[in-house]
Chains A and B, each alone.
Chain A
Amino acid sequence: MSTLTGCIQGIGVLGPGLSDWSATRALLTCDESYVAAPTVLPPPAVLPPAERRRAGRVIRLALAVGAEALGAATASSSADYARLLPTVFTSSGGDGDNCHELCVTLASGDRQISPTRFHNSVHNAAAGYWSIAYGCTRASTSLCAGDASFGAGLIEALSQLACGAPAVLLLAYDANYPQPLYAMRPIPDAFGVALLLGAPASAPELPRLQVALSDAIVAPMEQAAFESLRASIPAARSLPLLERLAQRRAGTVILDYLDTARLAVEVQP
């Protein structure tokens, strides 16, 4: 089967006990052992004040990892670069806090919901805030493939490169729902990853990916705490790929995708 390719120009990570990509990289290369701690989401300084007040956890998570991936690649001119960058947002479930509040109000005697809650309820809310923050008028999509959402986003981003886009920013993120929805979707905390992907020919010195559907089985990660994170948050299904990139080792990693297929990702560091 044919493959999809791209090079990695920047990485952003935020998760339980993972403050950014450089901290995550150190843990993935076993310089230190990983211990989960509650995810700390920075305030979305890039947003105008009105939008900043309205941005929930999922939006803050997406903006934070996107900004890190962007900054790593472009240093001081990241905001200018972002204006012209197509984006692929992907999440297994969007903003659970907002959804819960809407459902509570709609189940009550007074169904007057807040207009802000309503517009924040769309799955592409994070993408909307991102485009406003950076003045980005390029194409943006927002995907959901349940637990397969990271893989779906990776495929979409690489297919955009295959069709001529010079670069695409992929942002995959999930945050925990409040009860009672939490019991139905027990994601323990917020985790996000962003990959700034470029056409492979654009920078031969950068790590390169080649992705295809596969029937191979995913190997558990060596550190149990990372394996637990990988298995419990859909966006963290990216961790075996991040580990390979952190270790700068060539080879193929298998990522969980759909029930019917995995992704084989060949990495050339």
Chain B
Amino acid sequence: MTALQLTHFTATSCLGEGLAATRTALEQARSGLAPCHFETVDINTYIGEVAGIDDVALPPPLQRFDCRNNRLAHKALMQDGFEAAVRAAIARFGPRRVGVYLGTSTSGILTTEIAYRHLDPVSGALPPGFDYKGTHNSFSVVDYLSRLFGLAGPAVAVCTACSSSAKVFAAAQRMIGAGQIDAAIVGGVDSLCLTTLYGFHSLQLTSPAPCRPFDVARDGLSIGEAAAFALLERAPAELDPEAILLLGAGESSDAYHMSSPHPEGAGARSAMSAALNSAGLAPGDVDYINLHGTGTPSNDSAESRAVVGLFGDATPCSSTKGATGHALGAAGALEAVICALALESGLMPGGMNVRQRDPQLRLNYLTQNRRAPLRRVLSNSFGFGGANCALLFGRAA
């Protein structure tokens, strides 16, 4: 596949706003998870909440998009000079040649959940001012960015649950590879809402403690929220050695169950294998794997089998969800940015909250930060419906 450069990127999660805060939290092994006091939610669990979303104001012409999800998107866009980088790319390529590819799972559904508490007692109508297209619809955040930047090119939300914002990298790569666009804003935005908190609780998948992926006593996930973006462009012939590249992408379906992974991780393995093939690389070329690693018993077990089956038990791996929580539709993009930071600094973040590693899971799971020069790293994302995606990132040199 055509190697693309992540010319700019940024992430905002419970670890903080922007790259510096994210890098510092990872270096200090500081988790952003805290007991859940979100909205009116009454569940004994921990969450990764982004501070200050309620204080974000969207530009007045775009008020119809006002909701938690788009405020989070806006907050993240304003970090690390990302907005200016996008505007510069649009000036270079033109508004029709820059695509928008964003992943989300629940968009601004929190607005609808709250609106349903305020239905008209007689007619049952939603309250005045409720804007379905601007907030609830999955396209809302893509539409918001397109309008904010005055874009007129291809724009779409990818909604494959927890792999949504990994798949956007593959979709944008195809469009750039096919010569349809010159650059793409890719990323993921997902925010806390009742549907996911009560939904994962109904599946008995929310941990009452901060999640501890790959621990022998792991008992579920911690839901988080995040917005993460990258600007993807065709890599020039002359590259800075520090440049971060998207080298490969692999996608597959489990064809097994709507909410449980294939127990042997067959779909996960074929996604990772396809990512390697698309980059023309072998398992031994990968220096670190950022796992999906949700902390549910079944995910971590299936993913471990898939990784060990393809890579053996030596490749260093970790899940960063003990730090960030599971940002669901934004997890793929958030972890892509964490991979880019790892490649830049040589930091493999240790998986947090592990008291005793599960001896059944034979992969080389890091529980402490480790530093080593990294050339290529893999990021895994797996979603409900068996929608899998693995992304391979590398340094230019």
Q: Do A and B share a complex?
A: yes
Interface residues of A (CB under 8 A from B): 1-2, 4, 51, 54, 92-94, 99, 102-104, 106-107, 111-115, 118-125, 127-129, 131-132, 134-146, 148-149, 152, 155-156, 159-160, 162-163, 179-181, 183-185, 213, 258, 260-261
Q: Which chain A residue lies CB-closest to B114?
A: A107
- The answer to whether B194 touches A106 (Cβ under 8 A) is yes
Q: Report B392 CB to chain A, min CB distance, Å.
A: 15
Greatest chain A CB density within 10 A among B132, B179, B195, B385 is at B385
- The answer to whether A106 touches B113 (Cβ under 8 A) is yes
Greatest chain A CB density within 10 A among B125, B160, B177 is at B160
- The answer to whether B180 touches A155 (Cβ under 8 A) is yes
18 contacts between A and B (CB under 8 A): A99-B112, A106-B194, A112-B198, A118-B199, A118-B259, A124-B161, A128-B258, A137-B255, A139-B252, A148-B155, A155-B154, A156-B171, A156-B174, A159-B178, A179-B125, A183-B125, A185-B133, A261-B152
- The answer to whether A145 touches B384 (Cβ under 8 A) is no
For chain B, residues 359 to 397, give those with C-beta under 8 angstroms from any C-beta of chain A: 383-387
Known: A2-B178, A123-B159. A144 touches B126 (CB 8 A): no
Chain B, interface SS category: mixed
Q: Report B38 CB to chain A, min CB distance, Å.
A: 13
- The answer to whether B198 touches A111 (Cβ under 8 A) is yes
In the assembly, what is the distance between CA of A132 and CA of B253, in Å?
9
Q: Which chain A residue lies CB-closest to B130?
A: A184
Q: Report B226 CB to chain A, min CB distance, Å.
A: 18
Known: A106-B195, A138-B252. A119 touches B384 (CB 8 A): yes
Greatest chain A CB density within 10 A among B96, B157, B251, B274 is at B157
Chain B, interface size category, equals 35 or more
Q: Report B152 CB to chain A, min CB distance, Å.
A: 4
- Contact indicator per residue, chain B 268-289, by CB within 8 Å of chain A (1) or not (0): 0010001000000000000000
- The answer to whether B156 touches A163 (Cβ under 8 A) is no
For chain B, residues 181 to 229, give those with C-beta under 8 angstroms from any C-beta of chain A: 194-195, 198-200, 202-203
In the assembly, what is the distance between CA of A144 and CA of B157, in Å?
5
Greatest chain B CB density within 10 A among A106, A115, A184 is at A106
- The answer to whether A122 touches B267 (Cβ under 8 A) is no
- The answer to whether B258 touches A120 (Cβ under 8 A) is yes
In the assembly, what is the distance between CA of A158 and CA of B195, in Å?
34
Q: Which chain A residue lies CB-closest to B126?
A: A180
In the assembly, what is the distance between CA of A125 and CA of B95, in Å?
33
Greatest chain B CB density within 10 A among A4, A129, A143 is at A143
Greatest chain A CB density within 10 A among B109, B124, B252, B255 is at B255
Complex interface: chain A residues within 8 A of B112 (CB): 99, 103, 181
Partner of A261, one of B109, B113, B153: B153
| B93 CB within 8 Å of chain A | no
Greatest chain A CB density within 10 A among B137, B257, B266 is at B137
Known: A128-B258, A143-B157, A213-B153. A159 touches B180 (CB 8 A): yes
| B71 CB within 8 Å of chain A | no
Complex interface: chain A residues within 8 A of B387 (CB): 124, 127-128, 140-142
Complex interface: chain B residues within 8 A of A132 (CB): 255-258, 386
Known: A124-B385, A141-B251. A163 touches B178 (CB 8 A): yes
Complex interface: chain A residues within 8 A of B152 (CB): 258, 260-261
Q: Report B319 CB to chain A, min CB distance, Å.
A: 21
Complex interface: chain A residues within 8 A of B384 (CB): 119, 122, 124-125, 128
- The answer to whether B195 touches A131 (Cβ under 8 A) is no
Q: Which chain A residue lies CB-closest to B124?
A: A180
In the assembly, what is the distance between CA of A45 and CA of B162, in Å?
28
| B317 CB within 8 Å of chain A | no
In the assembly, what is the distance between CA of A64 and CA of B202, in Å?
30
| B85 CB within 8 Å of chain A | no
Known: A121-B195, A128-B384, A213-B96. A141 touches B158 (CB 8 A): yes
Greatest chain A CB density within 10 A among B96, B130, B180 is at B180
| B146 CB within 8 Å of chain A | yes
Q: Report B107 CB to chain A, min CB distance, Å.
A: 9
Partner of A115, one of B105, B202, B255, B274: B202
- The answer to whether B385 touches A122 (Cβ under 8 A) is yes
Complex interface: chain B residues within 8 A of A106 (CB): 113, 116, 194-195, 198
- The answer to whether A123 touches B132 (Cβ under 8 A) is no
Q: Which chain A residue lies CB-closest to B125?
A: A180
- The answer to whether B254 touches A131 (Cβ under 8 A) is yes
Nearest 4 A/B pairs, CB to CB: A128-B385, A123-B159, A118-B199, A139-B251
Q: Report A192 CB to chain B, min CB distance, Å.
A: 17
Q: Which chain A residue lies CB-closest to B143?
A: A146
- The answer to whether A184 touches B126 (Cβ under 8 A) is yes
- The answer to whether A213 touches B160 (Cβ under 8 A) is no
- The answer to whether A118 touches B174 (Cβ under 8 A) is no
- The answer to whether A143 touches B159 (Cβ under 8 A) is yes
Complex interface: chain B residues within 8 A of A4 (CB): 178, 180
Partner of A141, one of B126, B139, B160, B270: B160
Greatest chain B CB density within 10 A among A4, A125, A181, A185 is at A181
| B354 CB within 8 Å of chain A | no
Complex interface: chain A residues within 8 A of B160 (CB): 122-124, 127, 140-142
Q: Which chain A residue lies CB-closest to B256?
A: A132
In the assembly, what is the distance between CA of A86 and CA of B25, in Å?
39
- The answer to whether A134 touches B255 (Cβ under 8 A) is yes
- The answer to whether B167 touches A103 (Cβ under 8 A) is no
Additional A-B contacts beyond A139-B274, A155-B154 (17; CB < 8 A): A51-B258, A104-B116, A118-B259, A119-B259, A119-B385, A122-B105, A122-B384, A123-B138, A125-B384, A128-B387, A132-B386, A137-B266, A138-B252, A140-B251, A144-B138, A160-B174, A163-B178
- Contact indicator per residue, chain B 112-133, by CB within 8 Å of chain A (1) or not (0): 1100110100001110001111
